[in-house]
Amino acid sequence: MVQAGSVITIEARAKINLTLEILGKRPDGYHELRSIVMPVSLTDTLALTTTYAQTAMTITVSPGVDLTKIGSVDKNLAVRAARLMQERYGVNAGARIHIHKRIPIGGGLGGGSADAAGVILGLSKLWGLDRPREELMALGAELGSDVPALVHGGAVLMEGRGERVRGLFGDASPAACEGFWLVIANPGLMCSTPDVFRKWRGCLTASPSLLHNMTSSIRTSDVSAAAEALHNGLQPAVYEEYPGVAQTAAQLQDAGCLGVLLSGSGASVFGLVRDEAHGQEICRKLGSGLWHVLAQTCPVV
Ligand code: C5P
């Protein structure tokens, strides 16, 4: 029996793609991907409350997050995740979802997917469903390509359309593996993911040792090696179509980041930095004219 009024709070982490290879177009119109996805310490805070009524949602935002970019409630991934859970598991309770957004909307940081993943994990507990993580990941794949990776958590290798996800280190997740410090910046514009994929022309092929190099740099917390191995096959199309994104990347590079990359399909870019102090120095150089945040990757679940 679900108890109305029970509350759970979740920090839903954004993600970056340290590598993103586009391997080709599939007959279903999607693209075959191979990507190392890593959650970061930039989060949306979700407060989920059980109700007897329908699913309802409220949103507040941090400075720099543009509330006007949030679409209708019915299209919101977090609400859709709750409704999918209700339907799939025959739950007759509802949920009130309050989201405090810090992750820029439409920014290639998986904010909507993070909220959906948080709702799936949170309601599984709150409604006493306690479903296995693999099942919840498959449910997440019905909502969007980035959701399974964020339901899994930690550093993952994502393949297929995004639905095939496994921990980068298998079961032997290195407990001592530290995160990288990074500065994430957003030029305040939105890139349309379908448009970006449509513009992809397969012009940038990755080195065959890419996966190995990035995996071992994460395992050994070697940020310089990770900076060398950064790769995003969508980057040329985005920089050409949205010069403001290329300009933001150049600002991060000029400020002294070790390596800079487009996150997902944009518009956010991130720069890896040596350590926290280096990140703070870069944030000072960027000043207040550009939205940016200092964060850390979260390789271990
Ligand atoms: O799955 P999701 O809703 O996140 O995808 C948004 C859009 O990105 C899709 O409609 C598709 O145009 C493009 N996409 C793709 N191949 C993928 C993932 C996304 O072409 N593997």
- Per residue in 279-296, pLDDT (tens digit) is 999 999 998 999 999 999
The average pLDDT across 100-112 equals: 93
Cα–Cα distance, 1 to 91 (Å, whole number) = 10
With both helix axes pointing from N to C terminus, report the angle between 77-89 and 133-141 in degrees, rounded to the nearest 10.
Answer: 120
- The Å distance, Cα 242 to ligand 1 centre, comes to 19
Laid out side by side, the sheet with 269-273 consists of 259-262, 269-273, 181-186, 291-296
Best mutation site among 31, 32, 238 for ligand 1, i.e. most ligand atoms within 8 A of its Cβ?
31
Q: What is the pLDDT of residue 72?
A: 80
* CB of 145 shorter than 6 A to ligand 1: yes
pLDDT reading at 235 higher than 70: yes
- Pairwise CA distance, residues 33 & 24, whole Å: 8
Crossing angle for the helix pair 111-126 and 133-141, nearest 10 degrees?
140
Q: What is the pLDDT of residue 1?
A: 62
Q: Does residue 254 surpass a pLDDT of 90?
A: yes
* pLDDT confidence tier of residue 178, bands split at 50, 70 and 90: confident
From ligand 1's centre to the CA of 195, what distance in Å? 10
Tell which residue, 103, 41, 110, has the closest CA to residue 295.
41
Whole-prediction pTM: 0.94
Our answer on whether the CB atom of 192 is closer than 6 Å to any ligand 1 atom is no
DSSP label of 73: G
Q: Which residues are catalytic?
A: 15, 146
Ligand 1: does its nearest atom lie under 6 Å from the Cβ of 90?
no
Q: Enter the tokens of residue 279.
A: 């990140």
Q: What is the pLDDT of residues 24-64, one digit of tens each?
A: 999 999 999 999 999 999 999 999 999 987 778 888 889 88
Q: Is 296 exposed, middle or buried (0-12, 13-18, 19+ CB in 10 A)?
A: middle
113 lines ligand 1 (CB under 6 A): no
Mean pLDDT of the residues in the chain:
92
